[in-house]
Amino acid sequence: MMSLKLKICGMRDPENIAQVVALQPDYLGLIFYPKSKRFVGNISATMINAIPERIQKTGVFVNEQLHQVHEFILKYKLSAVQLHGDECPNYCKALKNLLPAVSLIKAFGVDESFDFKILNPYQKVVDYFLFDTQTLEHGGSGKTFNWSLLKGYTLKIPYFLSGGIGPESLEQLQQLNDKYLYAIDINSKFEIEPGLKDIAKLTAFKNTLFPLRVAINGIK
C-alpha cells in the first residue's frame, strides 16, 4: 500500500480550521454545497489562502455550474476539487482543461448494487476516485459501506476511502492492504457538531494511523 494520506473534511469554523491545520493533514475539505450541514457559507478567502501549501485545500461540489467551480478555485486558491454529485466525464474533462494543475477527485457512492464499470469513462479525466457510502444526500451519512466490495475495483487510479470512518475504524483500517488506497477521508465521526471537529479525537486517530509521520514531524 502506498504512503497513506489523510483528508479532514467538512471544515468551516476559522478557529477550528487553525487547530486542524496544526495537525498537518494532507488534505483539508471545504464543502461548497449549500444543502450540506457543513456548508462553508461566506468563509474568508484571506483566511483560507493563508493555509500552508503543503495542505491541499479541497473544494467539495455537488452538481455545481462549471463557471462557479472555476470561480471558487481561483478565489480560495484550491489545489484539489472533489465532485460529489452526478458529474459526467465530459464535465470532469472540461474542468481539468480549465485548470490542469488542480487535482480532480470524483466521488461515487458504493452499495451492494454498485457497478465499478461506470468508472471506466472517467479514467483519463480524473486524478483520483473517492468511494463513499451511497446515500440520497450526497454523503455525510456517518455510515460505513461494506469495504469488501472494493475487491471489485480493478482500475489503477488511486482512491480515497470515505463514509462513516471514525475512531472505532482504526483496527479495520490497519488491516487494509490495497496498493491503490491513497487516502482516508474523515468527517462526521470526529465532530462535536456539524462543521466543528473534536481535536483530541483527530489527534489520537492521526497519531495511531500515521505513527511514523508523527515521529518524523514531532507532532504530539
Q: Could you tell me how far CA 117 lies from the centroid of its own chain?
A: 22
Longest Cα pair distance anywhere in the chain, in angstroms?
A: 45
DSSP 138: S
Question: Alpha carbon of 199 to those of 51, 191, 205: distances in Å?
Answer: 17, 9, 10
DSSP string, 26-68: SEEEEE--TTSTTB--S--HHHHHTS-TTSEEEEEESS--HHH
Strand bridging mode 103-110 / 80-83: parallel
> Which residue numbers are catalytic?
9, 132
| Alpha carbons 184 and 131: distance in angstroms, whole number | 10
Residue 155's Cβ-side half-sphere holds a number of Cα atoms within 13 Å equal to 18
Beta bridge partners of 104: 81
